[in-house]
Amino acid sequence: MDKSNRRQVVIGLLGPRLDAGVHAERWNAWRPSVAICQHENLLIHRFELLYEPKETKLAGVIAADIASVSPETEVRTHAIAMEDPWDFEEVYAALHDFARAYPFNTDTEEYLIHITTGTHVAQICLFLLTESRHLPGKLLQCSPPARQHQQDPIGSYRIIDLDLSKYDRLATRFALDQRQATSFLKSGIDTRNAEFNCLIDRIERVVIASNAPLLLTGPTGAGKSQLARRVYELKRQRQQIAGPFVEVNCATVRGDQAMSSLFGHVKGAFTGATADRPGLLRVADKGMLFLDEIGELGIDEQAMLLRAVEEKRFLPVGSDRDAQSDFQLIAGTNRDLAEEVRRGRFREDLLARINLWTFRLPGLAARREDIEPNLDYELEQYTAKTGMKVAFNKESRRLFLDFAMSERAKWRANFRDLNAAVTRMATLAPGSRIQADTVCEEMARLEAAWKTSSNDETDGERLLTNVLGPERAAKLDRFDRVQLAEVVRVCRRAKTLSDAGRQLFNVSRNRKASANDADRLRKYLARFELAWNDLAGSTTE
């Protein structure tokens, strides 16, 4: 049927206050449910009037008044039981039940959902049911007449189609708001790595919608601390959090004083405890607690932290009364906490509690396309700190970027390496212009530092111990340890198994008619009872 020929049906709630009146004076007042049927350019064929049973008399008056002003409008009344019209769950359930039972026929009828009357809760519920298409129609909103026209109590109306452009503009505004939030989390850096951008998008959605713990993993210097602070600042901007941001490097609170630093103590709890100490968890009340390197915490501290996260309560040292603190937790680590659990160094129940939302930040070497925008960001930060604006000339900028984005640049300390490099070059820049000779000097300095690091045998031993565990690593010949350590390093930097295979078999693969680098690497790893997913830092192919 042509849309213009469809019958128009209004579904609306009786307004006990706005629609009120049983005496003749009622015709001098604006009554939404009656007025909507008085517009000459809006023909209402049927009005489905919903009302609470206690308003039966008023519902009868309104039905009769509609019939007198619009004889072509059929009025059907429906008693809807709602003991408390301000109880969201109760109102939504009652209206949802009506919508499910109603015999909609969108081929022959067009439905207008009147949201002017009823409590604010009821209006919100009608909006939600219309948006979800449980009520398959458009919103109908009417307004009283302007003061100069109060002698004509019909007023005006608007029909709002949630599928049309006005609603699209609202969605566009929401999308813009989301883009601004993700840009804020990235410190305004226009990052180009697609996987990293998707990661930040996901983090933005989670932190806005949830107060659950977050676990940020990734190599040292990947930006976990900075991201945690930006998450806090974003939630504070949106008034989702009111307390302070408290950052703790767990490697610095180990030993006898760890309990007191984190959970506080009472006066006299131990020798030297001359006054009460609140502890860092209580300082973070109503705010955010960032525990960096959480894998460094002792087992006892982990047990106390678990209770604090689950119950918002903990016992200060020397106290027999619980303390309270309601904070959001962000944990950071460069360790494989699952492996730490297997070794008995980390509590499995604590990992399960903080592992609801886990995000791994890639190292700088895995995001080489993001080096250029981060280089500009570091220069801006240098200017903000020193008041001196420093820039590259064209030749030196290209020279540094060619080096920074090549395989020569290992970026072992990730953004800390980049920050240090920019600081050194900017400090030594004559006339605030970084020249090619300064860049060459810095390149040599970085390569020397990385070469020393890569030739350090203990680095390879530490890497294999982390991947295999100390017992399995100790059973390998030195030949296998050296070779396997290099394979693991390449796998950690590579994006996929095939990518790692191409790098490792870059010569021999050219001698094969059909090179299957991924299969060769998979079989090599299997010799050591390893799989691609076992290598921290790798991504699933």
The C-alpha atoms of residue 133 and residue 315 are separated, in whole angstroms, by: 51
Report the amino acid identity of residue 506.
N
Instruction: Please report the pLDDT score of residue 537 as a whole number.
Output: 47
Can you tell me the distance from the alpha carbon of 297 to that of 517, in angstroms, rounded to the nearest whole number? 41
Backbone angles phi, psi at 267, to 5 degrees: -55, 130
* CA separation for the pair 275, 238 (Å, rounded): 37
Q: What is the pLDDT of residue 472?
A: 82
Quick one: pLDDT at residue 224?
Answer: 94
What was the pLDDT predicted at 97? 94
Domain 3-163 matching CATH 3.40.50.10770: the answer reads: yes
Q: Which two tokens stand for residue 249?
A: 């490097």
**pLDDT computed for residue 540 by the predictor:** 35
Residue 268 Cα distances to 272, 276, 277, 318, 319, angstroms: 8, 8, 11, 8, 10
Tell me, what's the pLDDT at 256? 65
CATH class (in words) of the domain with range 210-360: alpha beta
290-319 pLDDT, tens per residue?
Answer: 999 999 898 999 999 999 999 999 999 888
Residues 6 or more apart whose CB falls under 8 angstroms from that of 75 comprise 46, 47, 49, 62, 63, 66, 67
Q: Give the separation between CA 310 and CA 282, rounded to whole angstroms.
A: 15
| Fold match between domain 3-163 and domain 210-360 | yes
Provide the pLDDT for residue 3.
Answer: 56
pTM (2 decimals)? 0.61
In the block, tokens 């394979």 appear at 487
pLDDT in tens, 239-264: 889 999 999 999 888 766 788 899 99
Phi, psi of 281 (to 5 degrees): -65, -40
Q: What is the residue extent of each domain of the chain?
A: 3-163, 210-360, 364-454, 457-534
pLDDT value of position 186: 87
The fold adopted by the segment(s) 364-454 is Helicase, Ruva Protein; domain 3 (1.10.8)
Tokens linked to 191: 């990052």
> Which residue type does 324 have?
Q
Q: Is 227 helix (H, G, I), strand (E, B) or coil?
A: helix
What is the distance between the alpha carbons of residues 48 and 31, in angstroms, rounded to a whole number? 16
| 319, 276 Cβ separation under 8 angstroms | no
Q: Which residues of the chain have pLDDT under 70?
A: 1-4, 147-152, 163-175, 255-256, 453-459, 536-541
| Residue 279 C-beta-side C-alpha neighbours within 13 Å | 29
